[in-house]
Amino acid sequence: AIDPEFEQNREIVDEHEGHDVWGPVEEPDELGIHGTHVAVDFDLCIADGACLEDCPVDVFEWVDSPDHPESEIKADPAEEAQCIDCMLCVDVCPVDAIDVDAG
Ligand code: SF4
Ligand code: F3S
Ligand code: ZN
């Protein structure tokens, strides 16, 4: 499962579509965590798609992740600022790849 303490345990190494990327990143095998309020561990995501289907405000978008060992696409929290903290995505992800900081 995604580390709920990732903000303490990782460093921001990049920015993608307006959100932070938390390393380590070593493409194509290691992609890190995308987003901060809505954080998706790309190294855990298996492209199940439940988060895209269930998010009521369409926070997620597919991005390509060619040659990643778990999946060739990932759910990117492209619109994390729209999140209403309903926690549906956290509940439905089969590999617990998503952390939402509802604070
Ligand atoms: Fe979407 Fe709810 Fe997840 Fe926020 S917590 S990203 S609103 S499903
Ligand atoms: Fe990935 Fe979990 Fe969504 S596997 S596509 S983050 S439901
Ligand atoms: Zn991203």
With a cut of 0.95, is the ipTM above it? yes
Q: Does 100 fall in a domain?
A: no
Residues at CB less than 6 angstroms from ligand 1: 38, 54-57, 59, 83-89, 100
29 CB-contact burial (10 Å; exposed 0-12 / middle 13-18 / buried 19+): exposed
pLDDT over 80 at 7, yes or no? yes
The torsion angles phi and psi of 40, rounded to 5 degrees, stand at -120, 120
Q: By the 8 A CB rule, do 99 and 39 touch?
A: yes
Q: Does 44 fall in a domain?
A: yes
Q: By the 8 A CB rule, do 76 and 16 touch?
A: yes
Q: Give the nearest ligand 1 atom to 102 CA.
A: 5
pLDDT tens, residue by residue, 36-71:
999 999 999 999 999 999 999 999 999 999 999 999
Q: Does 1 fall in a domain?
A: no
Please give the share of the chain, as a percent, with pLDDT higher than 70: 99
Closest C-alpha residue for ligand 1 atom 4? 83
CATH of the domain at 34: 3.30.70.20
98 lines ligand 2 (CB under 6 A): yes
